[in-house]
Amino acid sequence: MSTVPIVSGVSTVDSGEWRKSSRSTAATNANCVEVARAGGSVGVRDSKNPATPLSFPAARWAAFLRGVRS
């Protein structure tokens, strides 16, 4: 398994730790968002372009999810 840098080599996530969105299905497989934790950060990437993930502090990601769910 390879590792993917999340923030300029500061954190890495094992490629097996990325999870696809629960909204992703076989029909929408080309449009998937993947998420992975790495220490105190959360990586988010487009499955079509996995080499360029975004990174967010875990607390900010949790606040984002709370806002989306409410």
**What number of other Cβ atoms are within 10 A of residue 8's Cβ?**
7
Q: How far apart are CA 37 and CA 22, in angstroms?
A: 16
The residues, any chain, with a CB within 8 Å of residue 10's CB and separated by 6 or more, are none
Extract the runs of DSSP E, i.e. beta strands, from 1-70: 3-5, 12-14, 19-20, 33-38, 41-46, 49-57
- Tell me what pLDDT residue 1 has: 45
> Residue 19 corresponds to which amino acid?
R
- Tell me what pLDDT residue 59 has: 92
pTM across the whole model: 0.68
What is the radius of gyration, based on Cα positions, of the chain? 12
- Tell me what pLDDT residue 26 has: 64
pLDDT in 10s for each residue of the chain, 70 residues: 455 555 544 356 666 688 887 777 666 556 788 888 888 888 888 888 888 888 889 899 999 999 999 8
